[in-house]
Amino acid sequence: MTLTTITAKPAPEETQTCWSCGAMRASHFCEACGKVQPPAPVDYFTFFGLPRKLNIDVVALDKDFYELSRKLHPDLNARAGSQEQGWSLQQSSRLNDAHRVLKDPIKRTEYLLKLEGVELEEQSKSATEKARATGQLKEQVVPPDLLEEVFELNVQLEELRMNKKMGEDDPALVEEIGRQKLELEQKHEALLEELKGYWKQWDALIDREQSGQSVSQDERKQVRDKMVGLLNRRNYIRNLVRDVSEALEG
Amino acid sequence: MSYSEKVIDHYNHPRNVGSLDKLSNDVGTGLVGAPECGDVMKLQIRVNRDTNVIEEAKFKTFGCGSAIASSSLATEWVKGKTVDEALSIKNMDIVKELSLPPVKIHCSVLAEDAIRAAISDWKKKQETAKPLAVEAK
């Protein structure tokens, strides 16, 4: 059985010789003698032999994952030397981490942004510093209309908590908050679809790069920033939905 | 992590909680949010048109103790300052005053953003109000 991605042609810098039989090998184990190789310090995309693109064939990923799991499983290598067993264990745990992150659309995007050097809080701070220096108003990550909505909803939640404390009941308020919660959840879902649109833009840049065309830092940054903004909005809504649920149940 | 005494004091006795009429011409409103934690902060100022001095400041913050303390402190600090003086308040001043730990620095950033947003809103109102005043003469 062949792996769909791992057997893809390795980049020259990833090509090394097997510690055991000396054959050239692509990745986690030697294709000639099957021995597990010491883990290479690579990111999760490279681990699966994937380019840093966001639209991933999850079915193929899962397939590679299960196949690799079997081949790298420490139990299967129980008869191997202790060093090889250790590598097997390390590779397995890295495999699990990589699979968990790449499988999930949000975690995958966040991971890629991290690889691209995005630090969310750092960004907010430097934007404030820029606003201070230029006198220009800082562009808020969360758009104004969403902020208004969040603020009003919080006012209502406060009222709801107060009511509960006093043992009072306000069915109309509970209903209104429930309705807004539903709306937020829909918005939360819709943002995932919007994110997929940005994936396309990002992947197109990577494709261009791989075909030898140049991609400017600005182009990368533009798509990156759009994804950062969207994830921030999404997290914001997620936290709010959590608060609403707590207040309704509490 | 434990809160500093000053944070707890502001949290238990927040200064200047409330709201001002956001439609009023001498009121500036700043509404900002921190996506890292879901906080939302509203800070409002009433500015004397002749002296540019901030005579009143109110806030309402939904968030953690540090966010509440940062905005409470911000309203205290801007009161009595001119608009330009208030713009010189930096988030690190708030961090120092409240002994905020690194993980809570974003709360102070939020408070500085709120001050700037409120002042910017007020300035915008003055620009649009000016031509009307000239016409009235």
Residue A56 reports pLDDT greater than 50: yes
Q: CATH topology for B5-136?
A: Sufe protein. Chain: A (3.90.1010)
Task: Tell me the average pLDDT of chain B.
Answer: 90
3-state SS track over A47-86: HCCCCCCCCCCHHHHHHHHHHHHHHHCCCCCCCCCHHHHH
Question: Which of residues B90 and A133 earns the better pLDDT score?
Answer: B90
User: In this complex, do B31 and A120 lie within 8 Å of one another by their Cβ atoms?
Assistant: no
In chain B, residues with a C-beta closer than 8 Å to the C-beta of A147 are 31-33, 40
State the smallest CA–CA distance between residue A217 and chain B in angstroms.
26
CB proximity list for B86: less than 8 A, separation 6 or greater:
B45, B54, B77, B78, B115, B119
Q: What is the tens place of the pLDDT at every residue in A117-128?
A: 887 666 677 777
Phi/psi class of residue B60: alpha, beta or left (left: φ > 0; alpha: ψ in -120 to 50)?
beta
Structure tokens at B10: 């502001």
What is the spatial distance between Cα B39 and Cα B32, in angstroms, rounded to a whole number?
8
Whole-number pLDDT of residue B72: 96
Of A121, A137, A235, the CB nearest to B117: A137
Known active-site residue B64: no
User: In this complex, do B40 and A154 lie within 8 Å of one another by their Cβ atoms?
Assistant: yes
Whole-number pLDDT of residue A121: 67
| Phi and psi angles of residue B35, each rounded to the nearest 5 degrees, phi first | -65, -20
Beta bridge partners of A28: none
In chain B, residues with a C-beta closer than 8 Å to the C-beta of A156 are none
Please name each of the domains of chain A with its CATH number: 12-103 (1.10.287.110), 139-249 (no CATH)
Of A56-60, A203-207, A236-240, B85-89, minimum mean pLDDT range = A236-240
Q: Where are the domains of chain B?
A: 5-136
Query: What percent of chain A clears pLDDT 70, i.e. is strictly above it?
Result: 86
Of A130-134, A165-169, A207-211, A222-226, minimum mean pLDDT range = A130-134
Question: Which of residues A161 and A131 earns the better pLDDT score?
Answer: A161
Whole-number pLDDT of residue B136: 47
> Of the residues B17, B31, B37, B40, which is catalytic?
B37
Interchain CB contact of A244 with B (< 8 Å): no
Cβ neighbours, 10 Å, residue A16: 15
Whole-number pLDDT of residue A45: 93
What is the spatial distance between Cα B28 and Cα B5, in angstroms, rounded to a whole number?
31
What is the spatial distance between Cα A190 and Cα A199, in angstroms, rounded to a whole number?
15
Under 8 Å between Cβ of A102 and A44: yes
- Average pLDDT (A210-233) is 90
Whole-number pLDDT of residue A87: 83
Query: What percent of chain B clears pLDDT 90, i.e. is strictly above it?
Result: 77
Residue A6 reports pLDDT greater than 50: no
In chain B, residues with a C-beta closer than 8 Å to the C-beta of A133 are none
How far CA A17 is from CA of A4, A44, A49, A233, in Å, comes to 21, 21, 17, 47
Question: Which of residues A246 and B132 earns the better pLDDT score?
Answer: A246
Sheet of B39-47, strands arranged across: B27-34, B39-47, B54-62
Residue A217 reports pLDDT greater than 70: yes
Of A141-145, A189-193, B10-14, B79-83, minimum mean pLDDT range = A141-145
Whole-number pLDDT of residue A34: 74
Residue B39 reports pLDDT greater than 60: yes
Interchain CB contact of B53 with A (< 8 Å): no
Interchain CB contact of B17 with A (< 8 Å): no
Structure tokens at A237: 């809504």
Nearest to A39 by CA among A85, A1, A75: A85
Whole-number pLDDT of residue A77: 62
- Average pLDDT (B35-60) is 92
Residue A72 reports pLDDT greater than 90: no
Question: Which of residues A3 and A221 earns the better pLDDT score?
Answer: A221
Residue B6 reports pLDDT greater than 50: yes
What is the spatial distance between Cα B4 and Cα B52, in angstroms, rounded to a whole number?
34
In chain A, residues with a C-beta closer than 8 Å to the C-beta of B32 are 140, 142, 147
- Average pLDDT (A98-102) is 97
What is the spatial distance between Cα B133 and Cα B61, in angstroms, rounded to a whole number?
35
Helix (H), strand (E) at residue A159: helix A144-165
Cα dihedral sign for A160, A161, A162, A163?
positive
Q: What is the tens place of the pLDDT at every residue in A139-196?
A: 777 778 888 988 999 999 999 888 888 888 889 999 999 999 999 999 999 999 999 9
Residue positions counted in chain A:
250
Of B31, B90, B120, the CB nearest to A151: B31
Label residues A89-127 b or e (16+ Cβ within 10 Å = b). bebbebbeebbebbeebeebbbbbbeeeebebeeebbeb
Structure tokens at B45: 């100022």
Whole-number pLDDT of residue A24: 47
User: Which of A120, A132, A136, A188 should we substitute to test contact with B (largest number of B Cβ atoms within 10 Å)?
Assistant: A132
